[in-house]
Amino acid sequence: ATTTIPIVFITGADPVQVGFVASLNRPGGNLTGVASLDTELGRKRLQLLHELLPKAGTIAALVNPTFPRSDIQARDLQAAASTLGLRLHILHASTVRDINTAFATLARLQASGLVIGNDPFFTSWSEQLAALALRDAVPAIYEFRAFVAAGGLMSYGPRIADLYRLVGVYTGRILKGEKPADLPVQQSTSVELIINLKTAKALGLTVPLPLLGRADEVIE
């Protein structure tokens, strides 16, 4: 990879841990950008799914083992599941074939719901993941709105528009002569909860009013 051309990134991983920058405040190289540190959001997604499915005993989580910090992601989800009194099965997928295998495993596990771990690969397959979850009648939650717009049940995560707005601001500053090394990595704090009521009805689910009331957007 280039070490001279300025790069402005968006990442859900810790940019220091994955080696993008030396520190959040002083990146120190040719990279800077926006981080949406997703560990707490992953726990929150599990909590939201549990709120929708209070009688569920077994939940599954789909994680890409090649994604930086996927081990931490899985460990945090297991800890959250234990707190909620849930059995959590971690399923791995880094290819389309793996995704199909994971959904076949879901059926065998009789898992009541699915938390999809944050990952660029899963984001690029949002529509397919939503279709598979609906086909197999699995209530699922993911990171971005695109999953819900494609027919997924719920999403909870950063607002994409806000992430790209921050990237645009930094790109403009770099084009005016500032150096990425001197621009602190921005941490996105803006999140949104999206619920697809049409999908909920198709799955035979009634969304609790308190949960519905907290939604930033309801798709009908």
Asked, for residue 109, whether it belongs to a domain, the answer is yes
**Do 109 and 25 lie in a common domain?**
no
**Do 143 and 173 lie in a common domain?**
no
Task: Indicate the pairing of strand 191-196 with strand 154-158.
Answer: antiparallel
In angstroms, the CA 116 to CA 105 distance is: 14
What pLDDT is stored for residue 214 in this prediction? 97
CATH number at residue 169: 3.40.50.2300
Q: Which domain holds residue 30?
A: 7-36+160-187
pTM of the model: 0.86
**Do 125 and 180 lie in a common domain?**
no
What pLDDT is stored for residue 39 in this prediction? 62
- Segment 161-203, tens digit of pLDDT: 888 999 999 999 999 999 999 999 998 888 999 999 999 999 9
**Do 30 and 114 lie in a common domain?**
no
Average pLDDT over residues 147-156: 96
**Do 95 and 167 lie in a common domain?**
no
**Do 204 and 109 lie in a common domain?**
yes
Q: From the centroid of its chain, how far is CA 143?
A: 3
**Do 49 and 117 lie in a common domain?**
yes
**Do 140 and 51 lie in a common domain?**
yes
In angstroms, the CA 113 to CA 122 distance is: 17
- The SS3 assignment for 14 reads coil
What pLDDT is stored for residue 38 in this prediction? 66
**Do 119 and 168 lie in a common domain?**
no
What letters, b where the CB count within 10 A reaches 16 and e where it falls short, cover 71-89? Answer: eebbebbbebbeebebebb
Tokens of 96: 């389309």
Asked, for residue 69, whether it belongs to a domain, the answer is yes
**Alpha helical stretches, state H, the chain:** 39-52, 70-84, 96-109, 120-124, 126-135, 145-149, 160-175, 197-202, 209-214
Q: From the centroid of its chain, how far is CA 19?
A: 21
Average pLDDT over residues 117-144: 94
- Segment 55-69, tens digit of pLDDT: 999 999 999 999 877
**Do 64 and 113 lie in a common domain?**
yes
Asked, for residue 2, whether it belongs to a domain, the answer is no
- The SS3 assignment for 77 reads helix
**Do 16 and 81 lie in a common domain?**
no
Asked, for residue 206, whether it belongs to a domain, the answer is yes
**Do 122 and 149 lie in a common domain?**
yes
Asked, for residue 1, whether it belongs to a domain, the answer is no
- Segment 78-125, tens digit of pLDDT: 999 999 999 999 999 999 999 999 999 999 999 999 999 988 899 999
- The SS3 assignment for 61 reads strand
What pLDDT is stored for residue 137 in this prediction? 96
- Segment 13-48, tens digit of pLDDT: 788 888 899 999 999 999 999 988 666 789 999 999
Please give the share of the chain, as a percent, with pLDDT higher than 90.
79
